């Protein structure tokens, strides 16, 4: 390492004359600013070190730069509250594959499947020499990666925790001949292997624009902004995903991937990676190997990966020289990081292409209407496989289903959906109701027994069916998966007639279970009378309440994502609290509110505290039509 870099890394007061009184705080500050000390503090440094070498000139990494292992949340950026966090409850690999694990997105039928269970596909290989590598079909698709995380019950060695476990590759930042700093691996990297994340300071779009403007004023050539726009959608039920996305700035603080250069023939690709689904707005940017990479080869990714078809010249190798691409640019002695024209976006449907520019040659910035280019298929990558809707046929083998039981459980199923987009669940329900009863839904005249009408509902909501069978799940336009059990999709061929004895033997409901079922559905006369009595006592001011029993709760409405705070008595049943939420939020009388807490619909005849709620925790107010 050259003398300048040695001085930069190993000074720490060593050059002070003998007897000099160096401030302890000044020495500590110097260690904080030392790149070597920052890198050495990484927990995995001994096993997977990061090194820096320069055998070309006397340049050093800017002294103002700070190495980070994880992204830092800037001012005005917040992660989801703990009460909104979720994780799978799987305890082993088999359970993750066969149960309702929320962290896995794609399903396929198992060879021994009888219609009751389905095997879920990991995005990573699970066994053999390829264990932990991203599967080829996902490596090409650029779909978001959903992983288990520290909030899940599964073990740390879960096959679905590759990015979660962190970098497993020793990297070296080195000085290149023509493109400034670059990065290479000191070991061979396999195709599909996770390399590292792009980290930095996560900032608001307003702060990102301010920094962009400041860069223009200061005439700084490079801007290191990545837009976290993979899930941006103006119609999203999550208000954090509707507007301009947050951005990661790696200019002054980041990891080694900040120094990775662009190439039109890259060996890495970036993916949006989601751990906790409540934090999609601050998802990770993960880099995976597109092919086998021998040790010592410079790591690169394509800044223009995902341009729209309107800008295919950026991918035309015969025109790259004219456009100033890569080392063919006249200013190729400076390494080509994103310019102040914009930020790098990773949303396949909304890609902004940042580049160094000159008045004569500038890469066009993609807009949200830009369509992804398909390089390996005639189908654009933002288009999902969608086959025509077909009827599902099945026979029940483990239960004697009656019409009453089927109708009740179907209603309970839709009333208890707390993940996914509400409008998608509503569309799925509408389509299924047509299939259940085409005559009652006015679809008998479409000539297909309701299939055409149901297909129209799904198409209007941009819901796709990879197999055409709703029992094998559906996807929304954002790639979110919606599993649907077969008893929800269609009646079994061996549906039995309603009979009190059969129903009782089949359901084996205790009196308390039956009461709870009623409490979760339509209120009984006795319960309505009780609620009316409480309301009348409140209106007349005659309700005697101990001040210590007065509580308040913040409820987040599923319909508008608006928060309301209501006051209630500790002993009030959930039904009363839900009614207060409905009144204070101004919902129409045709709406009904059900309260969910920690991922479960609460029983309406019990109080919040009886069901585990703690003061200060947020609850979800799920809004339904009566």
**Nearest CA among 123, 245, 266, 252 for reference residue 199:** 252
Q: Are 516 and 542 in contact (CB under 8 A)?
A: no
Q: Reply yes or no on whether 481 is catalytic.
A: no
Distance CA(253)–CA(71), nearest Å, equals 9
Per the residue annotation, which of 303, 335, 481, 597 is the catalytic one?
303
Phi-psi region of 174 (alpha: psi -120 to 50; beta: other; left: phi over 0): beta
Distance CA(116)–CA(108), nearest Å, equals 13
Taking each continuous run of H as one helix and of E as one strand, the counts in the chain are 15, 25
Q: Reply yes or no on whether 482 is catalytic.
A: no
Residues contacting 265, CB < 8 A, separation 6+: 300
Q: What is the dihedral of CA 442, 443, 446, 448, to 10 degrees?
A: -150
Cα distance from N-terminal residue to C-terminal residue, the chain = 73
Q: Are 182 and 56 in contact (CB under 8 A)?
A: no
Residues contacting 247, CB < 8 A, separation 6+: 202, 203, 205, 208, 225, 226, 227, 228, 343
DSSP 3-state percent helix, strand, coil across the chain (nearest 5) = 30, 15, 55
DSSP state of 409: H
Distance CA(313)–CA(304), nearest Å, equals 11
Per the residue annotation, which of 146, 198, 335, 475 is the catalytic one?
198
Q: Are 120 and 129 in contact (CB under 8 A)?
A: no
User: β-strand 194-197 against 284-289: which pairing, if any?
Assistant: antiparallel
For residue 460, count other CB atoms closer than 10 A to its CB: 11
Q: Are 153 and 88 in contact (CB under 8 A)?
A: yes
Strand-pair partners of 201: 72, 249
Q: Are 254 and 226 in contact (CB under 8 A)?
A: no
**Nearest CA among 303, 309, 314, 374 for reference residue 342:** 303
User: β-strand 194-197 against 171-175: which pairing, if any?
Assistant: unpaired
Q: What is the dihedral of CA 436, 440, 446, 449, to 10 degrees?
A: 30
**Nearest CA among 623, 616, 620, 622 for reference residue 552:** 616
Distance CA(471)–CA(476), nearest Å, equals 15
Distance CA(428)–CA(421), nearest Å, equals 11
Residues with catalytic roles: 198, 303
């Amino acid at each position: 390492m050259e003398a300048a870099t040695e001085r930069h890394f190993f000074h720490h007061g060593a050059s002070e004359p003998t007897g000099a009184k160096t401030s302890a705080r000044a020495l500590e500050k110097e260690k904080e600013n030392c790149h070597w000390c920052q890198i050495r503090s990484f927990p995995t440094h001994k096993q997977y070190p990061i090194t820096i070498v320069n055998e070309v000139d006397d340049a050093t990494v800017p002294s103002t730069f700070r190495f980070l292992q994880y992204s830092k949340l800037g001012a005005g950026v917040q992660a989801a509250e703990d009460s909104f966090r979720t994780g799978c409850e799987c305890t082993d690999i088999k359970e993750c594959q066969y149960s309702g694990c929320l962290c896995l997105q794609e399903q396929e039928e198992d060879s021994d499947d009888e219609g009751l269970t389905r095997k879920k596909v990991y995005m990573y290989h699970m066994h053999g020499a390829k264990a932990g590598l991203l599967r080829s079909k996902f490596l090409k698709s650029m779909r978001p990666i959903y992983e288990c995380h520290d909030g899940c019950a599964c073990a740390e060695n879960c096959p679905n925790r590759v990015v979660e476990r962190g970098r497993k590759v020793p990297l070296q930042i080195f000085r290149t001949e023509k493109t400034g700093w670059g990065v290479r691996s000191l070991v061979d990297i396999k195709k599909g292997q996770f390399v590292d994340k792009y980290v930095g300071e996560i900032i608001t779009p307003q702060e990102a624009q301010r920094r962009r403007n400041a860069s223009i004023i200061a005439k700084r050539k490079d801007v290191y902004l990545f837009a976290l726009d993979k899930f941006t959608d103006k119609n999203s039920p999550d208000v954090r995903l509707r507007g301009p996305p947050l951005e990661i700035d790696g200019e002054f603080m980041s990891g080694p991937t900040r120094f990775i250069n662009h190439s039109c023939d890259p060996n890495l690709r970036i993916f949006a990676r989601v751990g906790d689904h409540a934090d999609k707005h601050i998802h990770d940017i993960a880099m995976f190997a597109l092919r086998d990479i021998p040790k010592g080869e410079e790591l690169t990714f394509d800044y223009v990966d995902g341009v729209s078809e309107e800008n295919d010249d950026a991918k035309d190798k015969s025109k790259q020289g004219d456009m100033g691409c890569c080392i063919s640019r006249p200013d190729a002695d400076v390494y080509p990081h994103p310019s102040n024209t914009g930020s790098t976006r990773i949303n396949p449907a909304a890609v902004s292409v940042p580049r160094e520019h000159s008045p004569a040659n500038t890469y066009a910035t993609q807009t949200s209407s830009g369509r992804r280019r398909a390089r390996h298929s005639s189908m654009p990558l933002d288009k999902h496989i969608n086959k025509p809707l077909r009827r599902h046929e099945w026979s029940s083998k483990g239960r004697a289903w009656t019409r009453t039981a089927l109708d009740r459980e179907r209603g309970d199923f839709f009333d208890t959906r707390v993940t996914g987009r509400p409008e998608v669940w509503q569309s799925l329900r509408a389509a299924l109701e047509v299939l259940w009863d085409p005559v009652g839904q006015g679809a008998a005249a479409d000539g297909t027994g309701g299939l055409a009408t149901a297909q129209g509902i799904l198409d209007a909501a941009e819901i796709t069916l990879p197999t055409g069978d709703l029992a094998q799940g559906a996807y929304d336009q954002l790639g979110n998966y919606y599993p649907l059990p077969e008893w929800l999709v269609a009646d079994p061929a061996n549906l039995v007639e309603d009979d009190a004895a059969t129903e009782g033997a089949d359901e084996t409901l205790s009196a308390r279970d039956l009461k709870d079922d009623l409490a979760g559905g339509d209120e009984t006369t006795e319960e309505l009378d009780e609620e009316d009595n409480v309301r009348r006592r409140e209106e007349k001011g005659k309700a005697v309440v101990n001040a210590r029993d007065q509580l308040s709760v913040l409820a987040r409405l599923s319909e508008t994502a608006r928060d309301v705070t209501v006051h209630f008595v500790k002993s009030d049943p959930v039904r009363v609290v839900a009614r207060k939420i409905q009144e204070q939020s101004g919902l129409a009388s045709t709406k009904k509110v059900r309260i969910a807490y920690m991922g479960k619909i609460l029983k309406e005849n019990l109080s919040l505290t009886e069901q585990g709620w703690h003061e200060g925790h947020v609850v979800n107010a799920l809004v339904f039509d009566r």
